[in-house]
Amino acid sequence: MASTTFILLLPILLLLNPQAQAQAPAPAPSGQLNLTAILEKGSQYTTLLKLLKDTQQLSQIQNQFKTNSQGFTVFAPTDNAFQNLPSGALNGLSDDQKVQLILYHSAPKYYSLSDLLTVSNPVRTQSPWGLNFTGGQGNQVNVSTGVVEVQINNALRQQFPLAVYQVDKVLWPKAFSADANSPSPAPAPKKKGSNKGTATPTTDSKNDSNGVAGMKNNVGFGMVLGFVLLCMRVLS
């Protein structure tokens, strides 16, 4: 009963509250903004979600659009987009490059599609490189990295402070382009002591490119270590 009354009252309440009627730019919920949830709802972003988690950028980004007063824009490549990369391209990236790749897909400012139509190029991203936006017929916007160009057709979310756009290609940085074009994972990433401090046993010669295998190895190593420690404790 109460709810029926409420529904009957709702139009009147809306009339009395012009702000609600005009769909005011949702005043609250940047605290509730949840990129994971937005991407999961899209259900074709599992690779991106995994990459966001593996590179630990999910929480970073999540924090950014809570704290950045200018808002935030994310370009979300679909699973298909990742599949269409030359084989080995993604696995051929170092961990640092994977982070850069993710950062290249986000801008520390909110852009609506019409903003992107008129924005001055290049647009600053979270990475060292910019993106260029050009308008086509109608309200279509293309985004270009210099080596990849793709049309933006779908907004998963377009409301300040967060815009999330689907892209059907991975926005591959020009700086990586050699890697993207070579069929096999780039000739041995030059690791000039990029592993600061931590003396992780590098698997340079072996399957360094396969992140998942690397993770499994670490888990395996952890379990062995745990077992050894357990034995030591039992024996002592």
171 Cβ contact list (under 8 Å, min separation 6): 75, 77, 104, 105, 131, 143, 145, 148, 150
Site for ligand NAG in 167-226 (CB under 6 A): 174, 206-207, 210
Structure tokens at 235: 């024996």
Q: Are 104 and 192 in contact (CB under 8 A)?
A: no
Q: Is 136 in the site for ligand NAG (CB under 6 A)?
A: yes
Of 46, 60, 151, 158, the residue at the interface with ligand NAG (CB under 6 A) is 151
192 Cβ contact list (under 8 Å, min separation 6): none
Site for ligand NAG in 84-113 (CB under 6 A): none
CB of residue 103 to ligand NAG, shortest distance in Å: 15
| Calpha distance 130→183 (Å, rounded) | 26
> Residue 114 corresponds to which amino acid?
S
Structure tokens at 213: 């295998």
CB of residue 137 to ligand NAG, shortest distance in Å: 7
What track of x and - describes contact with ligand NAG for positions 10 through 39 (by CB under 6 A)? ------------------------x-xx--
> What residue ranges bind ligand NAG (CB under 6 A)?
34, 36-37, 40, 121-122, 130, 132, 134, 136, 142, 144-146, 149-151, 174, 206-207, 210
